[in-house]
Amino acid sequence: MKRTTALELLSKYRPTKEEKEYKNRMIGFIDGYKHAFNSLLTIGHVTVSAWLLNKDRTHVLFMQHPQSHEWRPLGGHCDGNNDPLDVMLKKAKAQSGITNIKPITKNIFDIEIQRIPRYDAGPAHDHYDIRFLLAVTSDEFVKRNYESYGLRWVSKDLHILPNHNPSIVRMHKKWLIWPKRLKL
């Protein structure tokens, strides 16, 4: 997938009201910066996240981020790879320890632009986060690894969601209506 394919995915994506500005800014950023997928671009870069469902599609996997300690969906930097879905599949497998993961749809599930504060020697910058809906296709168990302090399956009960960031709540709400749209 080339940068143009990521732009095509974004152009087809129908954002919620909250995401409309993100979509326009993200398209402008990817179109305007040749190295938009490289984390060495210090003003910002494209990142990916996954709303990874278990085999029965009743739970979503969260990981405790090693730097912020927040519970968040799996994901990370594209490291120069211009194919966000490919990056997310690799990251989901590496971060969960599960090898049998497939996209439920190859279309974008959600987007957000996150302001990342200054950390160590790195400046504050933006993460242009493209999110995909993935599912485990086997009975494998998660395996904690160096990329996370913990992994946790979370049910559809909004009250036990480990992070109530508005974008995570938005993805949770989308998950509740997507089974009807995607025949999950």
Q: What is the pLDDT of residues 1-44, one digit of tens each?
A: 455 678 999 999 999 999 999 999 999 999 999 999 999 999 99
pLDDT in tens, 88-141: 999 999 999 999 999 999 999 999 999 988 877 789 999 999 999 999 999 999
Helix (H) or strand (E) holding 31: helix 20-32
Q: What is the pTM assigned to this prediction?
A: 0.93
pLDDT of residue 178: 78
Architecture of the domain defined by 3-182:
Alpha-Beta Complex (3.90)
Taking only the tens place, the pLDDT of each residue in 167-183 is 999 999 999 987 666 55
Cβ atoms 129, 112 nearer than 8 A? yes
Handedness of CA 48, 131, 100, 60 (dihedral sign): positive
**Measured between alpha carbons, how far is 168 from 37 in angstroms, rounded to an integer?**
23
3-state SS, residue 2: coil
Question: Where along the chain do its domains lie?
Answer: 3-182
9: Cβ contacts below 8 Å, ≥ 6 apart:
84, 107, 108, 130
Tell me which of 92 and 66 has the higher pLDDT. 92
Report, in angstroms and rounded to the nearest whole number, the Rg of the chain calculated over CA atoms: 16
Distance separating alpha carbons of residues 88 and 85, to the nearest angstrom: 5
d(C-alpha 117, C-alpha 124), whole Å: 4
